[in-house]
Amino acid sequence: MSYISIRHLTKSFTFRDGTQLTVLKDVNCEIQKGEVISIIGPSGTGKSTLLRAMNMLEPPTSGEIWVDGENITAKGYPLDKMRRKMGMVFQSFNLFDHMTVLENIIYAPMELLHIPADEAKAEAMELLKKVGMAQKADVYPSSLSGGQKQRVAIARSLAMHPEVILFDEPTSALDPTMVGEVLSVMRQLAQSGLTMLIVTHEMRFARDVSTRIFFMNEGVIYEDGTPEQIFGHPVHSATKAFVNRIHKLVYDIDSDDFDFLNIHTGINRFCIKYNITDKIEPANALVREMLFERMRQYRPVTIRLTHAELTGVTALDIMVEHLNLSPLTDADRQALQPNVKELIEEPTTRGFRMKMIL
């Protein structure tokens, strides 16, 4: 029998103005003891909500969650008992600011498991050593860096000897220089055989450490498999785009009085977001050149900026419908030359495409 079983789980939020947002739509899965599962997927697809539903921080709208053979969604179920077996590590660390590092760790074992103070302290020091924070035992969390806080939070969770630990984007709030120290602690935990569920955007980590991957999209577990299956041979196109990390920006232009400044801003944002600021200049120059000069008489036109994070390739596609010959002259190609690494002109099923690799 599986350790955690999720059956027909849905979760929707109702806002004050009466609108409803469904975040989870009929999620089903079985989780065995000892599994290390990474939950990946685009933002806003319910990854965190699913994780938070598992320890009932986010009570589901319908469906059932069974943990260790018990229905924790049943009314009146003693959630505090269940949560002692299911630790959680938060994106924002949530250390208790009014307690020292050591007090943070021993508080729950002493209060809930009634472990004597000296015993709890000894164990806490062991855990702190394990996460490399022993010499900070007596400081307050406010003087720690983000990475240090997160390592303490992991130790705090471990002090309750949980069967499972849920990690809710544990490195998302961290400075890039501190991600490594937290991931290495988690790697170490994964090897110790602890059951872990990790919502993460760290693809390499997910691929290396997990025994299983959930790809979530649009409120369901879209694809569920081993890292090899998900990253090597994804079945669905959404999975493919996500694991290859291909990002798109699309504009349809059907008349001459389109909002060029809006496109300009969109391109800037896109390049800043994916850290390809060196492409801002050429992309804008090409769009301006093509729309106002070379392709002036062709409407409607679709322009698409794509960036594949894995390969680092950025491309600007310009597509014209109902056209099977290239609209470009040699002079045009000459003019585009300085900004384009490679120009591919090809007819498609719907028209003609010019792919410019930046």
Partner 1 sequence: MKKLLALIGATLLLAACSGGVEDFREPKSEADLSGLTLATSNGTYYQIMYSRREDVELYVANIETDAIQAVRQGKADVYVSDEVLLPDEDQKRLGMKMAFRGQECFDVAFAVKKGNTELLEQLNAFLATAPLHDITDHWIHGAPYVDEPPYEINPDAKPLRCVTGANIFPISILCDGGEWRGIDPDILRRFAHAQGRPFEMSFQDLGAAIIGLETGQADIVSANLLVTEERAKSVDFSIPYYQCHPGYFVVDRSAGGRLSLRERLHMNLVVENRWRLITDGLAVTIIITLCSILLGSLLGVGVCVCRRSKRNWLRKSADIYSDFINGIPTLVLLLIMFYVVFATSGLSATVVAVITFSLCFASSSGAIFDNAIASVPQGQTEAGLSLGFTPYKTFTGIVFPQAVCKGINLYIGECIALLKNTSIVGYIAIQDITRASDLIRSRTFDALIPLLIVTVIYFLLAWLLRRLLLLIIKKDAR
**With binding defined as CB under 8 A, does residue 107 bind partner 1?**
yes
Of the candidate spans 96-104, 138-146, 321-329, 333-341, the one that interacts with partner 1 by CB under 8 A turns out to be 96-104
Given the structure tokens 């994106």, which residue do they identify?
Answer: 91
Of the candidate spans 152-160, 216-224, 227-235, 260-268, the one that interacts with partner 1 by CB under 8 A turns out to be 152-160
Total site size for partner 1, rule CB under 8 A: 27
Short-list 166, 197, 169, 160, CA closest to 80: 160
User: For helices 146-158 and 117-130, what crossing angle results, to 10°?
Assistant: 130
Of the candidate spans 64-72, 115-123, 156-164, 334-342, the one that interacts with partner 1 by CB under 8 A turns out to be 156-164
**Strand order, beta sheet including 164-168:** 86-89, 164-168, 195-199, 36-40, 212-217, 220-225
Of the candidate spans 20-28, 93-101, 175-183, 192-200, the one that interacts with partner 1 by CB under 8 A turns out to be 93-101
CB 199 within 8 A of CB 179: no
Give whichever of 157 and 171 is closer to partner 1, judged by the CB atom: 157
How many CB atoms neighbour CB 160 within 10 A? 17
**With binding defined as CB under 8 A, does residue 200 bind partner 1?**
no
Among 14, 28, 71, 81, binds partner 1 (CB under 8 A): 81
Strand-pair category, 246-253 with 195-199: unpaired
Short-list 94, 109, 154, 108, CA closest to 128: 154
> CA-to-CA distance for 110 and 87, rounded, in angstroms?
16
> CA-to-CA distance for 205 and 188, rounded, in angstroms?
12
Among 7, 25, 84, 201, binds partner 1 (CB under 8 A): 84
Give whichever of 171 and 314 is closer to partner 1, judged by the CB atom: 171
**With binding defined as CB under 8 A, does residue 90 bind partner 1?**
yes
Lookup: tokens for 195: 């059951």
Of the candidate spans 4-12, 74-82, 302-310, 323-331, the one that interacts with partner 1 by CB under 8 A turns out to be 74-82
How many CB atoms neighbour CB 209 within 10 A? 21
**With binding defined as CB under 8 A, does residue 188 bind partner 1?**
no
Among 36, 39, 67, 108, binds partner 1 (CB under 8 A): 108
Give whichever of 166 and 276 is closer to partner 1, judged by the CB atom: 166
**With binding defined as CB under 8 A, does residue 150 bind partner 1?**
no
CB 149 within 8 A of CB 141: yes
CB 286 within 8 A of CB 304: no
Among 41, 46, 60, 87, binds partner 1 (CB under 8 A): 87
> CA-to-CA distance for 99 and 105, rounded, in angstroms?
9
The distance of closest approach from Cβ of residue 77 to partner 1 in the complex, given in angstroms and rounded to an integer, is: 13
**With binding defined as CB under 8 A, does residue 160 bind partner 1?**
yes
Q: Using CB under 8 A, list all residues that contact partner 1.
A: 55, 57, 79-81, 83-84, 86-88, 90, 92-98, 107-108, 111-112, 153, 156-157, 160, 166
